[in-house]
Amino acid sequence: MNDDIRPSVWVRKFPIDGGLLLLDVSSNCLFAYNDTARFAWELIEAGRPVEDLEAEFERTWGIPRSRARADLRSILGQWRAQGLIAGAESGPAAAEIESSVTVDGYRAAPARWAAEWICTIGGIAMGFAVETDLPSVRLFLSHLETPDAWPQTRIEIRGSVSTEAVLIRDGLERMRTSDPGLLVGGLWHSVLECIHPNVHWRALIHGAALARNGIGLALAGPSGSGKTTLAAGLVSRGFDYLSDDAVPVSEPDGEIVPWPLPLSIKPGSMEILKSRFPELGNAPAYSTKGTEARLLVPAAKVWDATTVKLRTLIFPRFIEDAAPNQRRLSQFEAIQNLLTDRVWLGYPITEARVKSFLDWLDDTPAYAIFYGTLDDAVQLVERAIA
């Protein structure tokens, strides 16, 4: 391995126990790594050559030099690919070269819209137009379509000559990205800005949000983790539904702002939920990932629900036949779980936004829960917010 390794000047490190958290301001990406990676990064920051890193790994972890070399090769290879370290093998760091890439304009070519529609959300008529087909976006807004309304604002998603999609609101470019999750987060954020123009946003978390007796909670996790089924189960037990797909969290108090998109109920959950929600039998159906799901559309009044402070963050995971289990997460484990899936911290992500989010996360209890039945999951949630 080449001895010439050093952190890219674009990278910012945040103090956090239990791991390593890095922000690359050039790529607008936040990365979380384990404690072993933190150990390696601190040695690199100190200017230690690779040979010293190998020796320190061998001594600290009590492993053979060959294993230490292989582990370091894997870590450094990943960091080079992500542009987090500079060195002769990885080419110049992003800050060490002048960009030769010109910003390509989306206006150079006539628009070729894949879809256009109008929705009225929070009393605001909005026009949508997408060149990139985003069927799920329109589907989840379909119950809000008002084709005869006169749009007060227009949100577009355009293609570009690169692989990036460009998000435009009222003719002004808001962001460009090749990350579908970031694009959807930016789209939802643009809608939220329209209906809540005076709100400052801390984050949009991929998940569902509910409340009971003024106590707000978020169920965060990737698709398939069971969060939507659990959200529906909690609603059937008297919790107030606030949002799904995105949990908008405002500043400065960390309040959940309602974003009540329909709950997407997969076939595996239909049998469990149909007795609690008879309307599922006639709910709109759609195809997703090779199966047919149904949309449980919330009452329109939820858009006007009162904001509540998000007091507990829960990462649910359904495991068939699993005994119920609950574990309190550290601040690092919580941010690592969020980054493994999807969390929107603004565009561009800034050091100040990350620090603010970490301070909020440090004051917000987070739990991982594991369960094999919906009843067990509900009990675990009730215990977490007690």
Report yes or no on 49 lying in a domain.
Answer: yes
Residue 200 carries which side chain, given as an amino acid letter?
H
Output the CA–CA distances (angstroms, integers) from residue 227 to 182, 222, 297, in the order listed. 20, 8, 16
In the predicted model, residues of the chain with pLDDT beneath 70 are 1-4, 87-109, 135
At 132 the pLDDT is 77
- Split into its structural domains, the chain has a count of 3
**Which one-letter DSSP state was computed for residue 145?**
B
Q: Identify whether residues 192 and 205 lie together within a single domain.
A: no
Q: Identify whether residues 91 and 110 lie together within a single domain.
A: no
Report yes or no on 367 lying in a domain.
Answer: yes
Q: Identify whether residues 171 and 31 lie together within a single domain.
A: no
At 90 the pLDDT is 41
**CA neighbours closer than 13 Å in the CB half-sphere of residue 115:** 13
Q: Can you tell me the distance from the alpha carbon of 262 to that of 239, in angstroms, rounded to the nearest whole number? A: 16
Which residue from 200, 202, 181 is spatially nearest to 137, judged by alpha carbons?
181
Report yes or no on 101 lying in a domain.
Answer: no
At 92 the pLDDT is 36
Report yes or no on 273 lying in a domain.
Answer: no
- Using an 8 Å Cβ cutoff, are 152 and 126 in contact? yes
Which residue from 200, 201, 218 is spatially nearest to 209, judged by alpha carbons?
218
**Which one-letter DSSP state was computed for residue 324?**
P
Q: Identify whether residues 250 and 354 lie together within a single domain.
A: yes
Q: Identify whether residues 362 and 303 lie together within a single domain.
A: yes
Q: Identify whether residues 230 and 333 lie together within a single domain.
A: yes
Q: DSSP letters of 25-87?
A: TTTTEEEEE-HHHHHHHHHHHTT--HHHHHHHHHHHHT--HHHHHHHHHHHHHHHHHHT-EEB
At 104 the pLDDT is 46
Report yes or no on 271 lying in a domain.
Answer: no
Q: Identify whether residues 63 and 126 lie together within a single domain.
A: no
Output the CA–CA distances (angstroms, integers) from residue 177 to 28, 55, 95, 160, 278, in the order listed. 10, 40, 20, 10, 41
Q: Can you tell me the distance from the alpha carbon of 30 to that of 348, in angstroms, rounded to the nearest whole number? A: 11
Cβ-in-10-Å burial (0-12, 13-18, 19+) of 5 comes to buried
Q: Identify whether residues 79 and 10 lie together within a single domain.
A: yes
Report yes or no on 278 lying in a domain.
Answer: no
Q: Identify whether residues 241 and 333 lie together within a single domain.
A: yes
Residue that finishes a domain, picked among 95, 121, 156: 95
Q: Can you tell me the distance from the alpha carbon of 266 to that of 261, in angstroms, rounded to the nearest whole number? A: 15
Residue that finishes a domain, picked among 95, 130, 152: 95
Q: CATH code at 326?
A: 3.90.228.20
Q: Identify whether residues 225 and 358 lie together within a single domain.
A: yes
Is this structure's pTM higher than 0.75? yes
Q: Can you tell me the distance from the alpha carbon of 162 to that of 271, in angstroms, rounded to the nearest whole number? A: 45
At 253 the pLDDT is 93
Q: Can you tell me the distance from the alpha carbon of 91 to that of 85, in angstroms, rounded to the nearest whole number? A: 10
Structural domain including 33 reads 6-95
Q: Identify whether residues 192 and 218 lie together within a single domain.
A: no
Q: Can you tell me the distance from the alpha carbon of 89 to that of 74, in angstroms, rounded to the nearest whole number? A: 14
Residue that finishes a domain, picked among 62, 95, 128: 95
Which residue from 210, 200, 203 is spatially nearest to 252, judged by alpha carbons?
200
Q: Identify whether residues 82 and 133 lie together within a single domain.
A: no
Query: In this structure, how many other beta carbons lie within 10 angstroms of the beta carbon of residue 287?
Result: 9
Report yes or no on 290 lying in a domain.
Answer: no
At 105 the pLDDT is 52
Report yes or no on 266 lying in a domain.
Answer: no
At 86 the pLDDT is 84
At 87 the pLDDT is 60
pLDDT tens figures, 185-213? 899 999 999 999 999 999 999 999 999 99
Mapping DSSP to helix (H, G, I), strand (E, B) and coil, where does residue 96 land?
helix
